[in-house]
Structure 1
């Protein structure tokens, strides 16, 4: 269902491909390293000018890139160093931290972190294992800042206690759930603060009660993405998409009824509570302009990513997909959609733009690992808004305004995207469209 999806419950279906706005893994896919063989080169990711601790590997051969980071108002560091290779990365096919493993010497500077961690990827994968696999939920107190901010489908939450309560409820509903790390894209340093984009496969069974139903006994197999900002052994900001509609669908729960219930609940955030601004798609009331050409020679991965989002979603230039995606791109999207080839990527982009004809998108954050020779792994966090005035994904137009946000992981080889994992807040979008209060 990559080409057209005109039924109201398309969000609960699994085939419609989607382009730039979505992201993550399934157990049977070809690993990113296999699709982009250059995505796991040598080096150690230590920032230029830093001192490698005892036992660290040789200095990087590809110089890291330092660029400005997120826009004002976010908690992300002011500048960030991009690792010039993929040496510090998730080993393909390994997936989950094995308990009681004796880990080696540190491979990068981690001042302020517990001695047990060798690098930032090791930190992210192993704290996830300890909290979710070992069910040491209290370890959240040691690895999240007391006033941490968490963004998900239900808005923004403040403080570690809400995070602990939600984690405990999820583990109680899926006590045997395994969390396999499929990839961690990272950037930064211990001085700047690290940023990480962690994609994980979740496999387990629904044997406990949760918000949407009693135990169904059904198997869950889906994927999530969590983007974190980390400093001194603590996560102080997290953006996470749980692929909620896919989870409900696999458990036999009516996705649309659940979205309507969520939209009518007292904790559902209205547009005024979401803290997002109007996307500046058409400046001064004029036509949207093409994205400017790069300032210098060579391949500028950040420029290409920002141009892609702008040209496709603000200028409606779907031919931009043909220019930057490989003909054989593998695409994975929200609600466990998947596709192959540029036509599937274009199909999801068309669906979104047909559903929300005035939709505009802005890129909120970009960071990456790698280089031109070996390829780049890129994390993109984006947001947008639009009005449901067209036919595409969600049936008859409601005329309601919606807020969208998402995380995309893009894998480049020789300047082309060869694989994409994208998630957006689709369950939340359905709740915005289906809630009973038309003025909210």
Structure 2
């Protein structure tokens, strides 16, 4: 393990929030251009998130986001700090008690002097205000988010944001496809359409299904992740699952899918990939930090593109539409095997994009004709 990884960078696992908000250690990274109060990039991410979201100091976005900050999500694109402020206000208005529990921050110092952070967040929140999902339900839900940010001189200058919205709405009592139909009515920013088209084409044209054999001698984080992608997602060779996962690995995927052990992990992946059998996956960013002496944490931002093969009869009209996912995964790897995986993407936006590009006018669940 490199000396950079074993530095005393802030680690947030099982740390009380009071301790994280008042660090007492010495500055561990140079952080050129950042406020002197921050001792490392993890400290920066944790404290500004707390100030903006839990202390409700939304205006601090002007201090911690660049005036022009492209934010990529599967549901839309925005780039102005004013839009960051507006979207933050709307979310807090819909879920005023939202708490953000920082599960992990996996970071990388880039060659251009910027810092890349991948922030895994669990939020508990009650829907007491109207939201993008509809009228207030007054129900409480839990949602997982991963925010990948490029940070430079005290500001976030680019962000990729993924949230498990399908699991959230299931707790709020909202039907997934109904939510996607409603989202499909929204007109996306033209920049989103350009980004979507370019990303879909990029992933489809990238060389895939290369064989990357892993051995003890050639094992590196990059080789491991690339082999994980090529073997399971691009080649669909699930008999090799034990090359990557511990026999008792825990596995969390969107929609509240929870699996434990190889058989359940395999089932989750196969069932999900069945809706896009020609899926191609690319690794778009990779970061790794040490967890302890024999364990590392890996953050992977990735994309999948292919053609849609509906597994739900309500979406049958969408067959062969362009299927594209922006996703992120946090992998805890011990002794070269994944022992815990958390993968996040927005299934509502995935299906909304399929519906919108098809031009189909799908009925809501409560408006479907009866079979009786």
**Quick check: 1:359 aligned with 2:279?**
yes
Paired residue for 2:327?
406
Contact 1:85–1:374, Cα closer than 8 Å, also in 2? no
- What are structure 1's unaligned runs of at least 5 residues? 1-61, 65-82
Paired residue for 2:128?
207
Distance in 2 (alpha carbons) for counterparts of 1:334 and 1:220: 14
**Quick check: 1:130 aligned with 2:51?**
yes
1:437 to 350, 354, 359: 359
**Quick check: 1:391 aligned with 2:311?**
yes
Larger deviation, residues 368-377 vs 307-316: 368-377
- Return the structure number with greater relative CO, CA threshold 8 A, min gap 6: 1
Distance in 2 (alpha carbons) for counterparts of 1:306 and 1:235: 28
Distance in 1 (alpha carbons) for counterparts of 2:228 and 2:274: 18
2:88 to 160, 167, 177: 167
Paired residue for 1:63?
2
Distance in 2 (alpha carbons) for counterparts of 1:194 and 1:331: 28
| 1:318-355 C-alpha deviation (Å, 9 max, x unpaired) | 12322111000011111222110111221122113321
| 1:170-223 C-alpha deviation (Å, 9 max, x unpaired) | 111111111111111111169621111111111121122222223221112222
Distance in 2 (alpha carbons) for counterparts of 1:405 and 1:310: 17
1:237 to 143, 155, 158: 158
Contact 2:331–2:341, Cα closer than 8 Å, also in 1? yes
Aligned-CA RMSD value: 2.8
Paired residue for 2:349?
428
Paired residue for 1:256?
177
Give the TM-score taking structure 2 as reference length.
0.87
**Quick check: 1:332 aligned with 2:332?**
no
Contact 1:355–1:393, Cα closer than 8 Å, also in 2? no
Paired residue for 1:323?
243
Instruction: Identify the structure with the greater helix proportion.
Output: 2
Distance in 2 (alpha carbons) for counterparts of 1:101 and 1:341: 39
Q: 1:393 to 1:351 in 2, by over 3 A?
A: farther
Paired residue for 1:346?
266
Name the SS of the counterpart of 1:297 in structure 2. coil
Q: 1:429 to 1:299 in 2, by over 3 A?
A: same
**Quick check: 1:157 aligned with 2:96?**
no
Distance in 2 (alpha carbons) for counterparts of 1:221 and 1:393: 28
Matches within 5 A, 1:251-330: 251-267=172-188, 273-274=195-196, 275-276=198-199, 277-280=201-204, 289-293=209-213, 297-330=217-250
Contact 1:299–1:372, Cα closer than 8 Å, also in 2? no
| Displacement after TM superposition at 1:102 (Å) | 6.3
Distance in 1 (alpha carbons) for counterparts of 2:323 and 2:336: 33
Distance in 1 (alpha carbons) for counterparts of 2:244 and 2:78: 36
Give the TM-score taking structure 1 as reference length.
0.74
| Displacement after TM superposition at 1:394 (Å) | 7.9
Q: 1:133 to 1:190 in 2, by over 3 A?
A: farther
| Displacement after TM superposition at 1:95 (Å) | 5.9
Larger deviation, residues 395-404 vs 109-118: 395-404
| Displacement after TM superposition at 1:374 (Å) | 2.3
**Quick check: 1:183 aligned with 2:183?**
no
- What are structure 2's unaligned runs of at least 5 residues? 362-372
| Displacement after TM superposition at 1:138 (Å) | 0.9
Contact 1:92–1:182, Cα closer than 8 Å, also in 2? yes
Paired residue for 2:364?
none
Distance in 2 (alpha carbons) for counterparts of 1:334 and 1:86: 33
Q: 1:281 to 1:414 in 2, by over 3 A?
A: farther
Distance in 2 (alpha carbons) for counterparts of 1:334 and 1:319: 23
